[in-house]
Amino acid sequence: MANERIVGPIILLGAPGAGKGTQAKLIAKTFGIPQISTGDLLRDNVARQTPLGIKAKAIMGTGALVPDQLVLDMVTGRLREADCERGFILDGFPRTVPQAEWLDKFLETERESKDAACKAACAPPVVIQLQVDYAKLFERIAGRRSCPSCGRIYNVYFQPPKVEGTCDVEGATLICRPDDREDVVKERLKAYEAQTLPLVDYYGSRGRLVVVDGDQPVEEVMRQAFSAIEHVNRL
Ligand code: AMP
pLDDT for 114-173, tens place per residue? Answer: 777 777 888 999 999 999 998 888 888 888 899 999 989 899 888 899 999 999 999 999
Pocket test for ligand 1, best of 65, 175, 176, 193 (most atoms within 8 A of CB): 65
Q: Is the pLDDT of residue 69 over 70?
A: yes
Q: Ligand 1 centre and the CA of 46: distance in Å?
A: 12
Q: Which is more confident, 29 or 135? A: 29
188 is catalytic: yes
Residue 77 lies in a domain: no
Q: What is the β-pairing status of strands 144-146 and 35-37?
A: unpaired
Q: Ligand 1 test: best mutation among 66, 70, 141, most atoms within 8 Å of CB?
A: 66
Give the lowest-confidence range in 50-59, 96-105, 108-117, 163-172: 108-117
The CATH number assigned to the domain holding 165 equals 3.40.50.300
Q: What's the pTM?
A: 0.89
Domain enclosing residue 168, as ranges: 12-33+86-227
**Spatial strand order in the sheet of 126-131:** 35-37, 87-91, 8-13, 126-131, 209-213
Q: What is d(CA 224, CA 226) in angstroms, rounded to the nearest whole number?
A: 5
Under the banding of pLDDT at 50, 70 and 90, the label for residue 3 is: low
The answer as to whether 155 is a domain residue is yes
pLDDT-derived band at 53 (thresholds 50, 70, 90) equals: very high
Summarised one tens digit per residue, pLDDT across range 183-223 is 888 899 999 999 999 999 999 999 999 999 999 999 999 99
* Number of Cβ atoms within 10 Å of the Cβ of 157: 11
How far apart CA 179 and CA 193 sit, in angstroms, is: 17
Pocket of ligand 1 (CB under 6 A): 16, 38-39, 42, 59-60, 63, 65-66, 71, 92-93, 95, 99, 179, 188
Residue 233 pLDDT > 70, yes or no?
no
74 within domain boundaries: no
Query: How many whole angstroms separate alpha carbon 191 and alpha carbon 16?
Result: 10
Q: Would residue 80 show up in a list of annotated catalytic residues for this protein?
A: no
How far is it, in rounded angstroms, from Cα 166 to Cα 81? 32
Tell whether the model's pLDDT for residue 234 goes beyond 70: no
What are the φ/ψ torsions at residue 99 (nearest 5 degrees)? -65, -40
Residue 80 predicted with pLDDT over 70: yes
Q: Distance of CA 174 to CAs 3, 146, 150, 153, 154, Å?
A: 31, 5, 10, 9, 9
Residue nearest to atom 8 of ligand 1 (CA): 39
Determine the atom of ligand 1 nearest the C-alpha atom of 20.
3
Whether 103 and 226 have beta carbons less than 8 Å apart is answered as no
Indicate whether 102 belongs to any domain.
yes
The single residue of 144, 145, 152, 208 carrying the catalytic annotation is 144
- Residue 181 bears catalytic tag: no
**Number of domains, the chain:** 1
- Out of 78, 114, 177, 181, pick the active-site residue: 177
Are 184 and 79 in contact, with CB atoms under 8 Å apart? Answer: no
pLDDT value of position 235: 55
Residue 54's contacts (CB-CB under 8 Å, 6 or more residues apart) are 46
The verdict on residue 43 lying in a domain is no
Strand boundaries in the chain, DSSP class E: 8-13, 35-37, 87-91, 126-131, 144-146, 153-155, 209-213
165 assigned to some structural domain: yes
Classify residue 54: in a domain, yes or no. Answer: no
| Average pLDDT score over the chain | 91
Residue 150 lies in a domain: yes
What's residue 1's pLDDT? Answer: 43
